[in-house]
Each structure stands twice: as C-alpha cells, then as structure tokens.
Structure 1
Amino acid sequence: MFSLVQKLFPLSLVIPLLLSGCSSNPDTVRRSGEYSFYDSTQRFIALTDTRRNGAVVDKGVFYPKNTFAYTYRYCSTSPKQAANDIAEYQTLAKRVCDTNGGQLIDQDSGSWCVSAANTPNEMPLFSAKITSTALWADLCLDGPFVTLRLNENTQVNQNQWYESAQVLGYEPYSPLRQLAPTSATMHAINQPASPTTAPWGEESKYIYSSVGATVCLYDHPHQTNLGHTYRGQVFSVNNGLVKVSVQDKFKGDIRTAPALERVSWHRSSYITAPANSWFVCS
C-alpha cells in the first residue's frame, strides 16, 4: 500500500500527510481538517537549508491571530528558486486540501481550503498564501524574499473557528461573493485587511477603544509593485471608522519587512479607514 501512496504523492509531501492526522473523537477539540497544513508547512520549510534559514514574522498578540495565524519569511537563492518554491507550496496546499476532502477557493486574503465549497454549508479548513518580493535586495542578494502565510484551526470548536476565520480574511459563501483569480492571491505582495463586513477581532476592538494608540495601515494599490505602511496615532473614531494622525511612511509591509525604511511623508496627515484595516504597531 505504501508503494501506491508513493506513486500518488512525492515522499516529501506524503510524510506530513501521514504524520499529521488528528483524532476524530467528537468529544475532543480537533483541527478542522483531518490533516494539518501547518505541520505540512513545517515539513516544506525543513526540506532545504535555504528555507530553514528564515524567521517567523508578524507574530500576533491579539486573538484570533495569535492562535491561528503563522507567517514565515526566508531569503531565496534566486528568482527561479523563489518561483519554484511558490509553485511547490501551491501544490502542497492543494494536496493537503484534497486529502481533507476540501476544495481551494481564491479570495483576496489568500487561497482558502473549504468543505462544501460554494454552498450555504461551506466551512473553511485552512488558508495558504505565498508571495515573493524583490524589495530589500541589499539584504537578500541572490534572490527575493519569500513569505508564507497560513491560518488554520488547531484548538477550538467549529463555531469559534468560523468566526475567527472571517476576522483573518475568509469571506463566507453568499450568492454575491466574488472570488479572486488564483494568480492574484498566490503571487501578489498585498495582504489586505479582512472584509469590512467581517466581525472584529480583539485587535480591532482595542484600536477602536484606544484614542492615542499607535497603529499602522498597510496599503498596496492594485497594479503596483510597491506597497507602503503608514504609522500614526488614533485621533478619533466614528461609525466603525478610525481616523489616524499619520506621521510616518515606510516601504513595504513592516510586519514582514527585514528592515524599516522610511519614505518621505508630510509632517502630519490624516487617514480614515475601517477599524479592521489598522493593526497595532510600535
């Protein structure tokens, strides 16, 4: 039987699938899927020295991000290697999703593996996103930085996870939902905030109730190669919107950037955006 499995999946991909199974006892909290994409991602990282020589970034301190999200960045050896890694990670996400009986759907926040896709019973299992950027070439001389992002339920019941997934960017099924092209979700640098209609997590609630707090917003207009992070203090809040007095502008997304690089900016300016577009920073 093992030889048959080897024919279906390369050994490097079979191992995490075989070792990541979870108990199906209904009385215990279990992952949404039978096989863990987080564990499979750890195997993916461990396969090469280049991937292992990276770092966990964008560690959340607020629920649900600190419970379900994982972000990892490493410096690839060449643009070709980065492209190969992106393709391999996409394949891994699809295989883990298929093994869990799910289907990948592409949304602005990434590719989500869901059960009962495009039906009222749709349930997210995990999300996967891999991007590369040629920014900070002086720090990654041979190739672009590659960033992996995933969200996966590891410890709570399905109702809690369903709401948390929405905070993390999952858009539930509705007849009006529009899915994104695959190339846009897996290759774009942008990491948009969760939909404005999504429930707020602890971070958004904290920001909305904390005038004077230091917060940031990452903006990456479509059809551009460079996004920027804006940093300032909460000035006022109203009707779900947060008005921030912005003093600083940085190149790229500072949550995953290897270095802070300021960009010229007005002495002070105001930006108003939904509370869940902002994140706490320092």
Structure 2
Amino acid sequence: MEVHVRGVEGLEYVLAAGQRVADLALSRRRLYYILLRARGDGVVLGLYGSLADEAGVVGIYRRITGGRPAYVEHDTYYLAVALPGARKLESLAPKALELERCSKGVVGFTLLGETGFLELFADSDPLQCLLEVFNARPGGRLSLSPSVLAETAQLYASPSWRLYKYNPATAEAAAYRGSYWVKASIEVTDGYVTGVWLSGVFYAAPPMEPFSILETIRGTRFDELVLSNAELAVDYRVELWGVTRDDFKNVLRSLHEKAGEKYFTVPD
C-alpha cells in the first residue's frame, strides 16, 4: 500500500515519512511504501558515516539502514519500503540490491524485528523498479498529514543525528571485504576507554547493534574479558551483511592488540 503525504518539505520530514512507513508495516503486517522528492540539499550517508565540507562544517544525516553514501540534492527521489516477514538480511539483500541496480540509485536496508526496511535515493523515479523487483501492483493509498511527522522530523534534524564524526583516536582498526568495510577506533585515557567510533559500508540488523556493542567497551579497561564479552555479543546479538561477524571481531581484536593492556596499567 502506498503512503501519501501532502506538502512535505525538508529532508528531515522526508526521512520521518520513511520511518512512518516502517511503523505502519510493523503494526499492520503488510507492505507499505512511500515515494517522495527530497526537497532539500544535504548528505545522507551509510551506517555511522560523516562528512565535512572545506570549511569543516558537518552537514550529514546518520542513517540506520547502512550502505554506501548517498548525496542528496534538490528534488532527489526518496523511496522507503517496509515489508513484514523478513527474518534474515541475506534474504532481504538480493531484493534490495536488485532495486539499487534497477533504479541506479543508492539503497540501504535493515531489519526492524521481522520487518524489512529499505531506503533508496535516486535521480529518476524508481516506482517501476519497485513494482518489478517486488512483483507488486499499485493499489491502495493511505494519506497522512504532515503534522504527524513533526516530532520524528525534529529528531532527524537534531545534532544527535547530524553531527556524528568519526575520530581515529588512540587506536584504529579496519576490515575490508570487496567494496564493503568496517572501521572502528577507541580513545584511551588513564587506562580506560573514553571514546569509541564506528564507520564503514555494510548493513546490520538490529541496525544500531554494531555501535551498541562497541559502546560496551567504553568506560572499561579493555582487557581479555571485555574483549571476549564483546566477541560473544557479535556472535549472538547482530547480523551483518557485506562484512561478516568474523570481520567485526577481527577489528575488535586488533583494537585490543593496538591499545590493549599496555594502556591499562597506570603508573604509580
């Protein structure tokens, strides 16, 4: 079913409309999509990415759907699709990447529970690609007022979503798999991890879990026990596509080796 919103302006409202599509699919258990024009300049990046201009001004939106950077200009098409019954990223990925190829756009995807969520930014109308890839027919329309998006739009316009910036810090490690990669760094102060950063081009479900796992290291002395617990969390709490769980664990191990116990013994 198509979701329709009149008079949406600004990139933050477009992204909020995509979130509303996900909410509807979660509650009503049927496919919903919305197709809008992103009427505002900005940059929508993949998982935990950031970009600064020549003056050092960061103008980004940190997205949960992951993937490659998408540079959004005035009147860029934005498509959000949410479909229930998706249990694995590996089953969602072929559809998402086929949609990306067909539309010549940039796609991000994740799982919200057992609902697949895809976002696409493209220069041309991707509706026909959507119908072909998902073997769907246009039919049914649900109209929403822009006022129902206001609260979520404020979130997407807030500094917590727009000002994330990766920092190489004390130690940095990365793993590459073809065109996909994951990179992380930690800052160590007086023997304790005081900062963590994550970047990369990959997809994850639950979408924030890679960063949440890295956050468990913050405030600790990054010893063997902390490393082991983080590796277990990767095995049992997150699904990755593009990079593997082993890639993510190798990054954690490399961080431990580069800024490990030698930093955690504070001189008397």
Fold similarity call, TM over 0.5: no
Q: TM-score, normalised by structure 1?
A: 0.30
Greater strand share, 1 or 2? 2
Greater helix share, 1 or 2? 2
